C-alpha cells in the first residue's frame, strides 16, 4: 500500500509541485498539460499481462525505454514542448521510484 501511495503521489504530486513552483500564473493549465503525460502508459496495453506488480516499467514498455526518455529530455528544450516534456519526465521519475521500491 505504501508503494502505491508513493507511486501515485509522485504521479500527481510532482507535476503539481512543478506547476505551482514554476508556472504560478498558469499553474492549472501547466498541471493539466503535465498530467497528459499519462498517455505514455498506453504502452502497458501491449504487455502480457497488462499489469504485473513485480515488473519495472523502465526499459520494458516501449514508451518507457531509455530511447524514449532521451526524446522526453529533448522535449524540455523548446518552450512549446517544455510542459509535456516535464510531464513525461515527472512520469518517468515516478516509475523509476516504483522500480526502486520493488
Domains of the chain, by residue range, sit at 2-101
pLDDT for 102 equals 76
pLDDT for 94 equals 92
Q: What is the DSSP string of 31-98?
A: HHHHHGGGGGGGGGGGSSSS--TT---TTTSGGGSHHHHHHHHHTTSSHHHHHHHHHHHHHHHHHHHH
Global model pTM greater than 0.85: yes
d(CA 75, CA 89): 10
Residues 6+ apart with CB under 8 A from 61: 43, 44, 46, 47
H or E element at residue 88: helix 79-101
- In order along its 102 residues, the chain shows pLDDT tens digits of 677 788 788 999 999 999 999 999 999 999 999 999 999 999 999 999 888 878 899 999 999 999 999 999 999 999 999 999 999 999 999 999 989 987
- For 85, the grid coordinates are 516534456
- Specify whether the CB–CB gap between 83 and 26 falls below 8 A: no
Amino acid at each position: 500500500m505504501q508503494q502505491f501511495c508513493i507511486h501515485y503521489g509522485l504521479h500527481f504530486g510532482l507535476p503539481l509541485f512543478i506547476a505551482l513552483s514554476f508556472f504560478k500564473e498558469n499553474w492549472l493549465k501547466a498541471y493539466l498539460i503535465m498530467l497528459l503525460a499519462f498517455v505514455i502508459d498506453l504502452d502497458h496495453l501491449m504487455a502480457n499481462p497488462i499489469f504485473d506488480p513485480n515488473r519495472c516499467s523502465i526499459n520494458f514498455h516501449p514508451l518507457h525505454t531509455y530511447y524514449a526518455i532521451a526524446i522526453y529530455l529533448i522535449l524540455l528544450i523548446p518552450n512549446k514542448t517544455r510542459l509535456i516534456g516535464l510531464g513525461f519526465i515527472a512520469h518517468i521519475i515516478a516509475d523509476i521510484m516504483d522500480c526502486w521500491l520493488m
